[in-house]
Structure 1
Amino acid sequence: MGVVKAVCTSDRRGIQKTDVTSAQFQVGFGIVGDAHGGNWHRQVSLLSYEKVEAFNEKGADVGAGAFGENLVVEGFDFRNLPVGTVFRCNDVVLEMTQIGKECHTHCQIYQKMGECIMPTQGVFAEVRHGGSIRVGDEMVIVPEMKDPRMTAAVVTLSDKGAKGEREDKSGPLIKQMLEDAGYRVIEKVLIPDELERIKIELMRLADGRQANLIITTGGTGFSPRDCTPEATMAVATRNAPGIAEAIRAFSMTITDRAMLSREVSVIRNQTLIVNLPGSPKAVSESLGFVLPSLKHGLDILTGADAECARS
């Protein structure tokens, strides 16, 4: 059980938040009146009271809301809880959606201390049920409310698509196929063929959002801009080549040009990352072929199943 120590909001982004003692939480938005509210996965930010106190003991001397956090809660080490954890406080139900975030600009706290705890210790949540929270309220974890489905993310790599010059047809197709197979697609992004950008997105989705499965589409050919396999290998902790090999072998029965596709499949911690070609036709054929087998591999990877061999 945790206890709410501060409820903080701000009327614009990029500034410290102010402890307002109580606030109203709205489904599909976040905290009413807070600048970070919206239809996205980072509606509410949470930070451990103990982490703030430990940071202050180093000489930071900061108050509630200084890191841009909405809720400061005593009793939880948020950083060590898995994404998908569900909290209840009064009528409010929050589902944790991301751990940490990339720090684009160093704040005053960083300038003073040389570090900031929000990028590493802060977590984010969506509001699943609305209501009010005030300082002193108790917060509990509700394990039976956690969604049991495997989570997935879709990443489309396309320079023209990112510029709005080409419609992304493969990303929505992958999303639909995954949902039809029982996955919960937590995010779908469209970014250009840039090595570092792809690496950052894959790491964010695997580490911060803890997606069980990431499917990419595009950037697997011979063009100098096609760097998806290189970015994927760069973030891997283990190789899982059989999936990509199976896709190429199956695709060779359809077209001999499949030998020119460079897609890879890897593991990053407990996330499986699979590259697919860019065309909707190739996506449908490739993903349709391997999708039935991925669930068992993910069960092994996440510890839900411990045996691969058949009797």
Structure 2
Amino acid sequence: MRVATLTISTSKAADPGQDEGTAALADYVASMDARLVGAEVIPDDRDLISSRLTHWADGGAVDLILTSGGTGLAPGDVTPEATLAVMDREAPGIAEAMRLASRPHTRYWMMSRGVAGLRGSTLIINFPGNPRAIAQAGEPLRDVLRHAMALLIDPAPGHE
């Protein structure tokens, strides 16, 4: 499974030394025995986010895109809107599972607006920006993602 990560934060893009989210996403990718093929840090800009997601999804070299950041209620948090703009189909259960997994750890879990879905055969998932929250929210997805990616990469008969 080929994975690209996109950390979305205006402050972290301006000062990469502040960025812990990219490392947390890389750790998550490694925990799935997946191959990290790209990682970028970009500012909270809806058009730029959509452009990067489209570039990776349409390029054929990425099976899964994990984003981090920009999923809250602040005016500049536009990751879900940028992701929805490029998705063909939503996978709402993934985002719902992430929020439920976060519930025991923070009372702010319900403020996450992250989404998940497909552009072509590339799965895109919005993770929270907090490095601890990345691991917590991603925990229940690990095995499910392996199965989902197997279906997308090499569909079994009857699953096309």
Q: TM-score range by the shorter chain?
A: over 0.9
| 1:165 Cα deviation from its structure 2 partner | 6.3
Instruction: Indicate the SS of the match to 1:256.
Output: coil
- Answer 1 or 2: higher relative contact order, Cα 8 Å, separation at least 6: 2
Name the residue aligned to 1:180. 31
1:294 to 121, 137, 145: 145
Deviation digits for residues 92-118 of structure 1 (CA, Å, limit 9, x no counterpart): xxxxxxxxxxxxxxxxxxxxxxxxxxx
Does structure 1 retain, via aligned residues, the 8 Å contact 2:95–2:114? Answer: yes
Q: For 1:179 and 1:226, how far apart are their aligned partners in 2?
A: 27
Name the residue aligned to 2:12. 161
Name the residue aligned to 2:47. 196
Query: Between the two proteins, what is the percent identity of the paired residues?
Result: 36
Instruction: Indicate the SS of the match to 1:274.
Output: strand
| Amino acid in structure 1 at the alignment position of 2:10 | D
| 1:299 Cα deviation from its structure 2 partner | 1.2
| 1:176 Cα deviation from its structure 2 partner | 2.2
Gaps of 5+ in 1: 1-149
Does structure 2 retain, via aligned residues, the 8 Å contact 1:300–1:307? Answer: no
Name the residue aligned to 1:282. 133
Richer in strand (by share): 1
**Structure 2 CA distance for partners of 1:274 and 1:306, relative to 1, 3 Å:** farther
In the alignment, does 2:118 pair up with 1:267? yes
Gaps of 5+ in 2: none
Instruction: Indicate the SS of the match to 1:199.
Output: helix
In the alignment, does 2:75 pair up with 1:217? no
Q: Which has the larger radius of gyration?
A: 1
Q: For 1:208 and 1:300, how far apart are their aligned partners in 2?
A: 19
**Structure 2 CA distance for partners of 1:219 and 1:306, relative to 1, 3 Å:** farther
Query: After TM superposition, where is structure 1 displaced by more than 4 Å over at least 4 residues in a row?
Result: none
Number of residue pairs matched by the alignment: 159
Does structure 1 retain, via aligned residues, the 8 Å contact 2:101–2:139? Answer: no
Q: Pairwise mapping of residues 1-311 of structure 1 onto structure 2 (< 5 A)?
A: 150-164=1-15, 167-306=18-157
Instruction: Indicate the SS of the match to 1:215.
Output: strand
Q: For 2:70 and 2:87, how far apart are their aligned partners in 1?
A: 17
RMSD: 1.6
Deviation digits for residues 197-232 of structure 1 (CA, Å, limit 9, x no counterpart): 000000011111431100000000011100000000
Q: For 1:276 and 1:168, how far apart are their aligned partners in 2?
A: 15
Instruction: Indicate the SS of the match to 1:214.
Output: strand
TM value normalised by structure 1: 0.49
Richer in helix (by share): 2
Q: For 1:305 and 1:242, how far apart are their aligned partners in 2?
A: 22
Q: For 1:191 and 1:209, how far apart are their aligned partners in 2?
A: 21
Instruction: Indicate the SS of the match to 1:244.
Output: helix
